[in-house]
């Protein structure tokens, strides 16, 4: 009977030590994860179509759009609606001129973005 109690005690100690180690590792992981992702708007900074469109001022702000050498050339109604900081967070380089904005990203082809936006602009006009 004494052996059974000793085995149970050893198992309980091992489980307690394992639980303490697990909790410290888990706490450290979540603390480091939250330190690296301080931005509460993390989903707004993911590179996807809606976020790019929102950062240039929305579909209503686009006058015309075309592709030039895998870059996206936009003519906007108002350049002040464009959020260059958000574009930078998305990893997109924006070059602003008097009448247009050129969006470029290394090793990325904006053809699908341009085609989808043209289709939406066409549907919006009709």
Which pLDDT tens digit goes with each residue over 53-99?
999 999 999 999 999 888 999 999 988 889 888 888 888 999 988 88
In the structure, how many helices (H) and strands (E) does the chain have? 4, 4
120 within 8 A of 59, measured Cβ to Cβ: yes
- Burial class of residue 117 (count of CB atoms within 10 Å of its CB; 0-12, 13-18, 19+): buried
Distance CA 74, CA 96 (A): 10
pLDDT in tens, 10-53: 999 999 999 888 877 776 655 555 555 555 555 666 778 888 99
Residues with Cβ < 8 Å from 77, sequence gap 6 or more? 57, 60, 61, 62, 63
Please state the pTM of the whole predicted model. Answer: 0.62
């Amino acid at each position: 009977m004494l052996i059974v109690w000793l085995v149970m005690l050893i198992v309980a100690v091992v489980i307690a030590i394992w639980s303490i180690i697990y909790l410290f590792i888990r706490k450290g992981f979540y603390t480091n994860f939250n330190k690296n992702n301080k931005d509460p708007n993390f989903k707004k900074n993911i590179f996807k179509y809606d976020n790019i469109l929102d950062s240039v001022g929305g579909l209503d702000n686009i006058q015309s759009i075309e592709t030039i050498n895998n870059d996206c050339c936009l003519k906007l109604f108002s350049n002040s609606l464009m959020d260059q900081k958000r574009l930078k967070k998305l990893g997109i380089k924006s070059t602003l001129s008097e009448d247009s904005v050129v969006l470029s990203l290394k090793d990325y082809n904006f053809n699908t973005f341009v085609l989808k936006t043209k289709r939406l602009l066409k549907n919006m006009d009709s």
